[in-house]
């Protein structure tokens, strides 16, 4: 649907939507019947081959699944691509049942499904340069959590990140590229480092904490131990993902 096809009363609604509206919409979607993108209960027979059904998987099991996939990716023995076509033919049009959300940088060297060796339908991926928590990114992840039932969110920076380096150097840039910088600068100041990788790690931690602390949807699930939010960094030279802790002082919940 193009914007011209959107009823006038709905046009520009994104620009006037308040945080309360977003939360209300997510809550309404959570209460809606299972149609289209709205996920229903998952039976074992519907889950991707070799993967646990999302109705029973825990946050720790979800994170283990993707880290096992990263190990296969590094070892040069991925398997997910062998399942994709079968999943499309079997049930991709029926809905989605992802287990993990990922907030990744837009960098072309970070192919998220490949990195975690996950097939179609298993990861709910949001991407923006610098893997920063914009309102739209938070809203998307809230949808993944409240409606689709993902069990973990990985906020993943990466080595040699151009957005991080640009924010550190703060050069004259064309267009709206500089709009990324304010969200990355806290990592520059908090880390007190001129090493881009140190800043990248700090940036992933800050935006994982921001996702928890700024979203009642996320915070409630974390407190209930139904969701884990984990910062991480991806090494573009080795393919390895390293998960990072969030310091207790940076989060409103101790879970």
Contact criterion met (CB below 8 Å) for 140 and 126: yes
Give residue for tokens 């310091």: 247
Euclidean distance between CA atoms 198 and 16, whole angstroms: 37
- Total of chain residues touching Zn ion, rule CB under 5 A: 4
Q: Which two tokens stand for residue 40?
A: 């229903």
Q: How far is the CB of 74 from Zn ion (least distance, A)?
A: 20
Residues 163-182 that bind Zn ion (CB under 5 A): 163
DSSP 94: G
Residues 80-139 that bind Zn ion (CB under 5 A): 105, 107
N-terminal to C-terminal alpha carbon distance within the chain:
41
Residue placing its CB nearer to Zn ion in the complex, 83 or 158? 158
Q: How far is the CB of 128 from Zn ion (least distance, A)?
A: 9
Residue placing its CB nearer to Zn ion in the complex, 107 or 118? 107
Q: How far is the CB of 108 from Zn ion (least distance, A)?
A: 9
By CB under 5 A, is residue 26 in contact with Zn ion? no
Euclidean distance between CA atoms 165 and 66, whole angstroms: 28
Residue placing its CB nearer to Zn ion in the complex, 95 or 239? 239
Regarding beta strands 228-234 and 100-104, do their DSSP bridges make them parallel or antiparallel, or are they unpaired? unpaired
Of residues 137, 161, 187, 232, which one binds Zn ion by CB under 5 A? Answer: 161
Residue placing its CB nearer to Zn ion in the complex, 22 or 184? 184
Regarding beta strands 152-158 and 100-104, do their DSSP bridges make them parallel or antiparallel, or are they unpaired? parallel
| Residues lying near Zn ion in the complex (CB under 5 A) | 105, 107, 161, 163
């Amino acid at each position: 649907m193009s914007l011209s096809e959107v009823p006038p009363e709905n046009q520009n609604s994104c620009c006037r939507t308040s945080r309360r509206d977003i939360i209300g919409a997510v809550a309404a979607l959570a209460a809606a019947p299972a149609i289209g993108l709205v996920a229903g209960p998952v039976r074992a027979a519907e889950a991707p081959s070799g993967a646990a059904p999302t109705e029973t998987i825990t946050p720790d099991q979800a994170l283990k699944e993707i880290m096992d996939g990263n190990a296969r990716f590094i070892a040069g023995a991925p398997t997910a691509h062998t399942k994709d076509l079968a999943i499309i033919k079997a049930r991709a049009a029926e809905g989605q049942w992802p287990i993990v959300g990922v907030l990744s940088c837009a960098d072309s060297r970070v192919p998220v499904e490949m990195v975690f060796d996950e097939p179609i339908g298993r990861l709910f991926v949001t991407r923006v340069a610098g893997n920063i928590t914009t309102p739209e990114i938070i809203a998307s992840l809230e949808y993944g959590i409240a409606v689709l039932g993902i069990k973990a969110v990985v906020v993943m920076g990466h080595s040699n990140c151009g957005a991080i380096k640009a924010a550190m150097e703060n050069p004259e840039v064309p267009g709206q590229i500089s709009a990324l910088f304010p969200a990355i600068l806290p990592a520059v100041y908090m880390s007190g480092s001129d090493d881009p990788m140190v800043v990248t790690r700090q940036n992933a931690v800050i935006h994982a904490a921001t996702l928890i602390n700024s979203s009642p949807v996320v915070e409630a699930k974390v407190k209930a131990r139904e969701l884990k939010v984990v910062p991480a960094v991806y090494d573009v030279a080795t393919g390895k993902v390293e998960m990072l802790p969030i310091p207790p002082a940076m989060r409103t919940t101790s879970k």
